[in-house]
Amino acid sequence: MRDSIQITLSVDDLPKHWYNVLADLPEILPEPLNEDGRLERLGDIILQECIKQESSAERLIKIPEEVRELYLRAGRPRPLHRAVGLEKRLKTPARLYYKREDLSPTGSHKVNTALAQVYYAANAGYSRVVTETGAGQWGTAVAYAASLMNLRSTVYWVREAYEWKPERRRLMRLYGAEVLASPSEKTEYGRRLLKGGPDNKGTLGIAISEAAEDSLKNPDTTYVVGSVLNYVLLHQTIIGLEVTKQLEVVDVVPDVMIGCLGGGSNFGGFVLPMVGKVLRGEVKKKIKFLAAQSEAAPNLVKGTYQYDFPDAAQILPRIKGYSLTHEFKMPSIWAEGLRYHMAAPIISYLRDKGLVEAIAYPKDEKAVFEAARMFIQAEGFIPAPESSYAIRAMVDEALKAKATGDERVIVANISGHGFLDLEAYGKVLVI
Ligand SMILES: Cc1ncc(COP(=O)(O)O)c(C=O)c1O
């Protein structure tokens, strides 16, 4: 038991390849639509190397040695913990494990792809990167990666979250980023929206459009993407590849794997290597892959599997995924990172085929933050509001196991820490 409380990997165990699930899918994933030249224009917005990875058919894609070094500097491999405290509190026969992506320098899994994309940007000769951010975790990861590689960075941050997270704003600026509330005066699209209403609170879709426009207009600049696209999930598979090795160390095949889902990058990165084992017939057990969402943006639960625009201004090509439509009005929640209208094409495909399940929790977030409070008191670590959705789902699955007396193995991904989100805890739990 003692050996399996914290399952660590050595530096030599850090994966040398990312895992590309496209190679194991039974059919080709529906491709983005080329309407009005949008696909050609994409080449002027995002990185060529990433466009190549987006549709690669290779199962294993080499992680450049420089990126592996950056992963080591960021503290990878990360531990997998057995939640012994939580198990005791719940009096569940289930065995609970959680992956520690909260241990990243900036506080979330987002560094895994930020380091890769900014590395490719520097290699391609760009001197500046731009992006959008919702919760602020992605923007911080980009600011951090850009500072390590001496690139300038600009972050368009959904105004609503920009206004209530001054500490994260400072952190991004400490890394040297330019941080703008979106909609902003910097882009044509932002100015147009502000003319219509200066109190526009923004959405992730709007911020994406601003970043894409900025990238299109500035040849020294490229746009780095935080979620949804295949190559972002690819880079994030570093999480699941480590977890797969860690579960082998304790000789365990999970019954349930859980991650929170906004666009799908931490969930995808966490589960896809195991999904691949199932698809290849290497694992015969029926594993429940469960995405935890908010009823404010239940793209996988209530959306339709359809072609839709990833951004509000319709600059990017339409892609196929479960979507609530790009004009859908989503109410505010503290877990801002889960407030996105569309799920990743890969996850959407797997959901359509019945391989992935999803659950959405109420908008008042009380049930979610109560589960997080139990986790904090039992385990000691403070999850990001987004990660708390995965914890809620883990607690619910553990309680189901208790009701049936089932010794299920449940593994959840803690996508980030909540040190800069204590205001959210204070407001929801009234403390
Ligand atoms: C800590 C954390 N977890 C999860 C998410 C959701 O994004 P994704 O579904 O791409 O993992 C975010 C998004 O900002 C986040 O900051």
Quote the ligand 1 centre to 134 CA distance (angstroms). 9
Q: How confident is the model at residue 4 (pLDDT cuts 50, 70, 90)?
A: confident
Q: What is the mean pLDDT of residues 295-315?
A: 96
Strand partners, 247: none
Q: Among positive and negative, which fits the CA dihedral 262, 263, 269, 271?
A: positive
> Which residues does a 6 A CB cutoff place in the pocket of ligand 1?
108, 134-135, 137-138, 227, 260-267, 337-338, 384, 386-387, 415-416
Q: Among positive and negative, which fits the CA dihedral 184, 387, 172, 316?
A: negative
What average pLDDT does the chain have?
97
Q: Using the predicted structure, report yes or no on whether residue 2 has a pLDDT greater than 60.
A: no
Q: How confident is the model at residue 313 (pLDDT cuts 50, 70, 90)?
A: confident
Q: What is the mean pLDDT of residues 213-242?
A: 97
Range with top average pLDDT, 1-5, 331-335, 353-357:
353-357
> Which domains occur in the chain, in start order?
2-13+65-108+234-429 (3.40.50.1100), 17-63+110-223 (3.40.50.1100)
Closest protein CA for atom 10 of ligand 1: 265
Q: What is the mean pLDDT of residues 218-240?
A: 97
The pLDDT of residue 416: 98
pLDDT cut 70: percent of the chain above it: 99
Quote the ligand 1 centre to 160 CA distance (angstroms). 17
Task: Count the helices and strands in the chain (H runs, E runs).
Answer: 17, 15
Closest protein CA for atom 5 of ligand 1: 337
Q: Using the predicted structure, report yes or no on whether residue 39 has a pLDDT greater than 90.
A: yes
Residue 262, C-beta contacts closer than 8 angstroms, at least 6 positions apart: 134, 227, 293, 297, 337, 338, 339, 340, 386
Closest protein CA for atom 15 of ligand 1: 337
**Residue tagged 């979330």 (tokens):** 108
Q: Which atom of ligand 1 is nearest to the CA of 260?
A: 4
Q: How confident is the model at residue 1 (pLDDT cuts 50, 70, 90)?
A: low
**Residue tagged 């594993």 (tokens):** 287
Quote the ligand 1 centre to 149 CA distance (angstroms). 23
Q: What is the mean pLDDT of residues 246-275?
A: 98
Q: Are 77 and 12 in contact (CB under 8 A)?
A: no
Closest protein CA for atom 1 of ligand 1: 416
What pTM does this model have?
A: 0.98
Quote the ligand 1 centre to 383 CA distance (angstroms). 12
Q: Using the predicted structure, report yes or no on whether residue 3 has a pLDDT greater than 70.
A: no
The pLDDT of residue 262: 97
Q: Which atom of ligand 1 is nearest to the CA of 338?
A: 6
Closest protein CA for atom 7 of ligand 1: 262
CB-neighbour burial class of residue 403 (10 A; exposed 0-12, middle 13-18, buried 19+): exposed
Q: Which atom of ligand 1 is nearest to the CA of 268?
A: 11
Q: Are 385 and 126 in contact (CB under 8 A)?
A: no
Q: Which atom of ligand 1 is nearest to the CA of 226?
A: 10
Q: Among positive and negative, which fits the CA dihedral 277, 279, 281, 285?
A: positive
Distance CA 340, CA 356 (A): 18
Q: State which of 98, 110, 413 you would mutate to test the pocket of ligand 1, scoring each by most atoms of that ligand within 8 A of its C-beta.
A: 110
pLDDT cut 90: percent of the chain above it: 97
Distance CA 77, CA 406 (A): 31
SS3 assignment, position 30: coil
Tell me how far apart the 2 most distant CA atoms of the chain are, in Å: 62
Quote the ligand 1 centre to 339 CA distance (angstroms). 9
- For the segment 159-187, what is each residue's pLDDT rounded down to a tens digit? 999 998 999 999 999 999 999 999 999 99
Distance CA 215, CA 37 (A): 16
